[in-house]
Amino acid sequence: MNITIISNNYYPEDSGIGLYSAGMAEYLAQNHNVKVITAMPYYPQWEIYTEYKSKPIYFSEIINNVEILRFKTYVPKKPTFIKRILQMCHFFIGSLGNIFRIKKNDVVIVVMPFTISIFLGWLLKIIRGGKLFVHVQDFEFDAAFETGLSKKSGLLPKLIFKVERFFLNRADSVSTISYGMLKKLETKTASSTSYFPNWIDYSKINPETAKPNKIFDSNKFNILYSGNIGAKQDWDFFIDFVKACQEISKVHIYLIGEGAKRDEVVERIKNFSNCTYFPPVRYEELNDLLCNADLHILFQKSTVVDTVMPSKILGMMASAKPSIVTGYEESEVKHNFEVSNGGFYYYEENKLEKIIEKIKNLIEFPQESKETGENAREFIIEKFSMEKILSIFKGNIKKIDNKIE
């Protein structure tokens, strides 16, 4: 079976879409011939990785039995809405050359958020045959409008969503990573749809194998945000949270990550002695980081209505530590926390007061932290293990091409 995966993000990016696209490709490569069309790695720093800067515009390599065809795409240092569209268009134009390097194809899998990548997959289907499977990791345009990166009104949004619908309708099947996103997807396409969530290799995020992490203070209650520092998170609320935590002397907050908002947020926390910034760690170090925090936090904008499902939630819960998350009232994260008793979700107007009170309780009653964290890990192992989810994915592919065994 000849399978082509088109994804703007791929290994060695070890977070977000790049991590999952690589996992998908390497899983399929155990039994099939897999090629990946992608860009040079740049996320989350929004800069092409140093070891790839000197590579030619078109560059190919083989990693873990997967042939990777790369194009050196334009990467905006500060990714505004318009610059992101330019990046998408540049990836599309440049990757046309790699499309014609594919000689055999049975299934092409396109990983969104780059909607225009579906055109590449459709073109490959026309030229080489096979089926077209689209997997939506992120509704990029919906998120841009909901977070205020671009205006919702006017001709441009209408045009964008018409083009998106046209491309999605070219697919034989479309999947996405949460039930909330699946509902949205069903309003966008007449193609068959399915649920295909992200997964966690819980053997690699495992408190039993975690070594002590030197950045944390053993005399403090260590609160961690680790991940993208971008437009989808509520950084105004984060600053309010840091201020409010000054009344709890035992608390120290750690901000670890990269992203378009990093410089702005790091500048805003400089005057707070209870908050420290560190650059992101490699995936190999993530276990030691996540499992040694006392509490994880993720503050999402309440306007982001399940257009994204934060993959970092899986690692947070797998660490067997409690999490506090804010966002939209009907969020799927909220539902998962309620079902598992594995975290605390807030959306109310007075959520900051409730969060501070909860932190005080967790410090005073550590048994609640322990039980909540254990519940979270059990839930993740049961519902989101790598083996379980990728077998579901394999079944979804079977539906559109019965050649896969």
Q: What is the pLDDT of residues 224-246, one digit of tens each?
A: 999 989 888 999 999 999 999 99
> Do 189 and 232 belong to one domain?
no
Local structure of residue 14 (DSSP, 8 states): -
Looking at the predicted structure, is the pLDDT value of residue 150 above 70? no
pLDDT of residue 151: 59
Max mean pLDDT range (12-16, 186-190, 387-391): 186-190
Looking at the predicted structure, is the pLDDT value of residue 361 above 70? yes
Between CA 6 and CA 88 the distance in angstroms is: 13
pLDDT of residue 400: 64
> Do 30 and 147 belong to one domain?
yes
Two tokens at 276?
Answer: 């420290």
Lowest mean pLDDT of 29-33, 100-104, 117-121, 152-156, name the range: 152-156
* Structural domain that includes position 94: 2-199+385-400
Between CA 66 and CA 5 the distance in angstroms is: 10
Confidence of residue 153 (pLDDT cuts 50, 70, 90): low
> Do 280 and 346 belong to one domain?
yes
Mean pLDDT of 57-64: 97
CA atoms within 13 A on the CB side of 175: 22
Q: For residue 213, tell me if it sits in a domain.
A: no
> Do 371 and 392 belong to one domain?
no
Looking at the predicted structure, is the pLDDT value of residue 399 above 60? yes
Between CA 253 and CA 225 the distance in angstroms is: 8
Task: Kindly report the average pLDDT of the chain as a whole number.
Answer: 91
pTM for this prediction = 0.86
Q: For residue 188, tell me if it sits in a domain.
A: yes
> Do 297 and 323 belong to one domain?
yes
Contact 257, 226 (CB under 8 A): yes
> Do 248 and 180 belong to one domain?
no
Burial class (CB in 10 A: 0-12, 13-18, 19+), 291: buried
> Do 336 and 365 belong to one domain?
yes
pLDDT in tens, 260-282: 899 999 999 999 999 999 999 98
For the beta carbon of residue 31, count every other beta carbon within 10 angstroms. 12
Q: For residue 207, tell me if it sits in a domain.
A: no
